[in-house]
């Protein structure tokens, strides 16, 4: 059963971050949200494995929940 890769797996994380930042530059909040949604769906399609995607959703949801608790 495939598992979500949690160890660093980028060939060039700084280049990806720069490209992502540039993609959002001078975009409205609504445009950025649409870009993020499309990116998520494109990457989810690439991954393709429902169990891996559900694991990613769980971890992402926990991180959001943990952050909200820390700021409260």
pLDDT tens digit string along 9-37? 999 999 999 999 999 999 999 999 999 99
Q: Give me the pLDDT at residue 38, please.
A: 98
With a cut of 80, say whether residue 65 has pLDDT above it. no
* 57's tokens: 């959703």
Rounded to two decimals, the pTM is 0.80
- Confidence band (pLDDT; 50, 70, 90) for 64? confident
d(CA 20, CA 35): 10
Tell the residue number behind the tokens 């930042």, with chain if given: 21
Q: Give me the pLDDT at residue 71, please.
A: 57
**56: which residues sit within 8 A by CB, 6+ positions away?**
4, 47
d(CA 53, CA 58): 9
């Amino acid at each position: 059963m495939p598992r979500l890769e949690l160890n660093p797996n980028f060939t060039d994380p700084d280049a990806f971050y720069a490209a992502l930042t540039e993609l959002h530059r001078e975009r409205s909040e609504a445009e950025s949200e649409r870009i993020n949604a499309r990116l998520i769906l494109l990457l989810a399609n690439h991954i393709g494995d429902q169990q891996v995607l559900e694991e990613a959703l769980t971890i992402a949801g926990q991180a959001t929940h943990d952050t909200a608790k820390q700021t409260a």
